[in-house]
Amino acid sequence: MKKIIISNFKMNTTPSEMKNYAMTLATKTKGSKNKIIICPPFTHFAVANQFFEGSKISLGAQNVSDAESGTYTGEISASMLKDSKVEYVIVGHSERRSRFKETDKLINKKIKTALANGLKVILCIGENLATREAKEAGNFVKKQLDDALKGIYENELESLIIAYEPIWAIGTGKTATIKDIQKMVELLRKEISYLYTDKAGEKINIVYGGSIDINNYKKIISLPCLNGALIGGASLNVDNFTVISKENY
């Protein structure tokens, strides 16, 4: 089964290091059936494009401004990403929600700006440990989804991937259990069916992220209810990420 394998470099590696990474990945994943999306820092796009153009690997960004242009020092606009041959952008990552105080309202605006400029969106949602322990994870994630998708039309869902990333599983070495993932994915599909149509709930792409590595990836990504994975730390090792990207799921 074809899966979507997404990397998130976060603020790691230099553009010089990207060269070897991109060259290795592009060469070694040539026959892969999976959709591979690499989200390095902005500074890496030019070098990544040298190797990804003509390959099946897509380039993604880790952030985008909700504004189109103007007096926003340090920000990157959707049209800048598009012009840099970026196809995807991660929106709503928990690190941006917590460290940069991004709200559901801002995330909704970012999604609209990204889609309006022809970018595809990887929308991250997920609960923290306290919310899970209070047995509120389902309601919390549903609300994040509802708020993020306000004003988004059903035909735009084709350009959206939902990444379920429980915060307590990100970079901790603790993944959610298979049962937890299945339950949450089912809930998310149901919510999309409720917000749109049953067809939309079936078709929406949902990936899981949180401490996936070379030892546990197969069991998680093979789940029939999942369309793929978002991988942080383990994606920095090009040999391991190549194995995960080439796998026949």
Identity of the residue, 206 or 234, whose beta carbon is nearer to ligand PEP in the bound complex: 234
228 torsion bin: left (phi>0), alpha (psi -120 to 50), beta (else): left
Active-site residue flag, 165: yes
- What Cα–Cα distance (Å) separates residue 2 from each residue in 81, 121, 123, 140, 226? 26, 19, 20, 30, 11
Residues that bind ligand PEP (CB under 6 A): 8, 10, 165, 170-171, 209-212, 230-234
| CB of residue 78 to ligand PEP, shortest distance in Å | 21
CB 194 within 8 A of CB 149: no
Closest CB to ligand PEP among 79 and 233?
A: 233
Q: Which is nearer to ligand PEP, 97 or 142 (CB)?
A: 97
Contact call for residues 29 and 244 (beta carbons, < 8 A): no
Catalytic-labelled residue, pool 95, 102, 165, 191 = 165
Provide the 10 A C-beta neighbour count for residue 156: 16
Phi and psi dihedrals of 156, rounded to 5? -80, -15
Instruction: Give the Cα separation of 175 and 165 in Å (integer).
Output: 10
| Residue 17 annotated among the catalytic residues of the structure | no
The residue among 9 and 51 lying less far from ligand PEP, judged by its C-beta, is 9
Report the residue closest to ligand PEP, judged by CB.
Answer: 232
Rounded to a whole number of angstroms, the minimum distance from the CB of residue 7 to ligand PEP is: 9
The three-state secondary structure class of 76 is coil
The residue from 93, 95, 102, 127 that is catalytic is: 93
| Min CB(233)–ligand PEP separation in Å | 3
- Least CB distance from residue 160 to ligand PEP, whole Å? 17
* H helix runs in the chain, sequence order: 15-28, 45-52, 78-83, 94-99, 104-116, 129-133, 137-148, 178-195, 198-203, 217-221, 238-246
Positions annotated as catalytic residues are 93, 165
